[in-house]
Each structure stands twice: as structure tokens, then as C-alpha cells.
């Protein structure tokens, strides 16, 4: 038994050293801990509108409106509300780094707690800085969660060759039972060779650049980060929207982006 314990200890030590070395290879290049009184405009801008965003979503995304986006107790709050705004019956917010921090390759970490209930559709995702046509120029979905299927966390990539419209989407799911009650770290590691997705350091999705074509891999260009909470839509509202649950908060504790050094 002593020998077994000793061998086990060596294995665990080896794993710990390996993880430590992996972390040391990362260099922090962007962060927001949300410790200021207001959202930092040098890091985030707002996408505004209520046209359904190609998914028949119900919300109007507002700009600089504290009811929909604010910092509270060291957290970014993206709040969806049941209220009339122009032609829409809901409001929410969508924060992006398109103008402030587009980047190519890296590790994205977002610690967040998700909203709860039918109709909620929070997301942490990325688009090409120079997107001309979707999905040809790529989309990286680090975390999507639809409220009618609570606890099922989805990671996906979209390209011209691989997307949900033609039934070829590259995607996977992990079950996080307390995703709406506890904070978890949602992470994407993006290199020229592959894109990997994790929740709390548990990897559950990998997309490898095997074909070396733009149709299959449009990910060798700068992308920007998006944080938003949609309401309803083709996917989020597939089983209806429970209007009685609103307002709903999507809470983000921090955003950190690292350069990965080989």
C-alpha cells in the first residue's frame, strides 16, 4: 500500500506541475474585474437595436442605461426587463469589444452566473472584427444557455461549411446543474491549430483546424468578445417565454483574456 500511495502522490504532483506550467505560459492582455463604479468605455461599447438579430429575439438592446447594464457589488449586471421600448416588449444589453479590443488567438475566461427561466438566453461569444457575411467569417460561442433547458451549457463554432442552418454545426454540451445559482468560469483557448472550451477547467469541446480552408477555419483573424442576454428567439424562446420571471440578471464577475505563449 505504501508503494501505491507513493506512486499516486507522484502522479498528482506531476499533474499539478503540468497545470502550473500551462498557467505560466499565459500573459494577461485584457481584464475587467468590474470594481469601478461604472462600465469602462475604454473596454466596452454597446450594440443597440431591436430588430431580432436574425433570431427573432424579443429584446431591444439599450445603450448606457443602468436598468439594463451596470456594475453592482463588483459584478457586471446585464439585466433583461419586461418593459415596452420602441417596438419591443423587453429590454436588455449587449456589450462588445469590437472598437476597444479585437484580438487574434488567446485564452478567454469569464466568471459568470446565469439568469434563470424560460425565455432567457445569455451568451459569451465572439465574432470577426471584419465580419462581412455570417457564418462565412466565423463565430465562436464560448457559452450559451437557454432557460427552458436549465443547466445545459453549450459551446459551438460556426463557419461557412459548419453551421446550424445547414445542420453541420460543430457543438457540444456540458451539464452544470447550478449554473443559475453559482458562478462558474467559462473559458475558450484559441490557437492557430484548435479551439477548446472549458467550464471550471473541465474541457468538453474541441474543434481542430484539420482542413486548412477558410470555409472550415476562418479563425486566423482578429475577433471581438460579446456579452449579452437575449429574450426569446428561435432557440431561447423555442418553448415559450415566461414573462413573469423578469427582470432577470446575467452576472459577470470578471473577464480576462490571455496571450498563449508556446
Enumerate the active-site residues.
139, 144
Distance between CA atoms of 68 and 64, rounded to whole angstroms?
8
DSSP assignment letter at 148: G
Peptide bond into 93 cis (omega under 30): no
Residue with cell string 468538453: 204
Instruction: Return the C-alpha cell found at 60.
Output: 431591444
Count of helices and strands (H, E) across the chain: 2, 17
Amino acid at each position: 500500500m505504501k508503494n501505491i500511495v507513493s506512486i499516486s502522490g507522484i502522479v498528482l504532483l506531476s499533474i499539478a506541475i503540468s497545470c502550473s506550467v500551462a498557467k505560466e505560459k499565459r500573459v494577461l492582455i485584457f481584464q475587467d474585474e468590474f470594481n469601478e463604479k461604472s462600465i469602462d468605455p475604454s473596454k466596452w461599447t454597446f450594440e443597440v437595436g431591436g430588430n431580432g438579430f436574425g433570431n427573432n429575439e424579443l429584446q431591444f438592446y439599450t445603450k448606457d442605461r443602468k436598468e439594463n447594464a451596470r456594475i453592482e457589488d463588483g459584478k457586471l449586471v446585464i439585466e433583461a426587463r419586461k418593459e415596452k421600448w420602441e417596438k419591443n416588449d423587453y429590454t436588455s444589453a449587449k456589450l462588445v469589444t469590437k472598437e476597444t479590443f479585437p484580438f487574434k488567438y488567446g485564452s478567454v475566461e469569464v466568471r459568470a452566473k446565469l439568469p434563470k427561466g424560460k425565455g432567457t438566453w445569455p451568451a459569451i461569444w465572439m465574432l470577426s472584427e471584419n465580419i462581412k457575411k455570417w457564418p462565412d467569417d466565423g463565430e465562436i460561442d464560448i457559452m450559451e444557455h437557454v432557460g427552458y433547458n436549465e443547466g445545459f451549457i453549450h459551446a459551438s463554432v460556426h463557419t461557412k461549411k459548419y453551421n446550424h442552418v445547414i445542420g453541420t454545426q460543430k457543438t457540444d454540451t456540458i451539464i452544470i446543474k447550478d449554473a443559475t445559482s453559482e458562478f462558474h468560469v467559462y473559458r475558450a483557448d484559441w490557437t492557430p491549430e484548435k479551439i477548446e472550451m472549458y467550464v471550471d477547467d473541465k474541457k468538453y469541446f474541441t474543434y481542430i483546424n484539420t482542413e486548412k480552408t477558410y470555409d472550415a477555419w476562418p479563425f486566423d483573424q482578429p475577433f471581438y468578445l460579446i456579452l449579452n442576454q437575449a429574450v426569446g428567439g428561435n432557440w431561447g424562446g423555442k418553448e415559450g417565454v415566461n414573462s413573469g420571471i423578469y427582470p432577470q440578471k446575467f452576472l459577470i464577475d470578471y473577464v480576462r483574456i490571455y496571450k498563449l505563449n508556446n
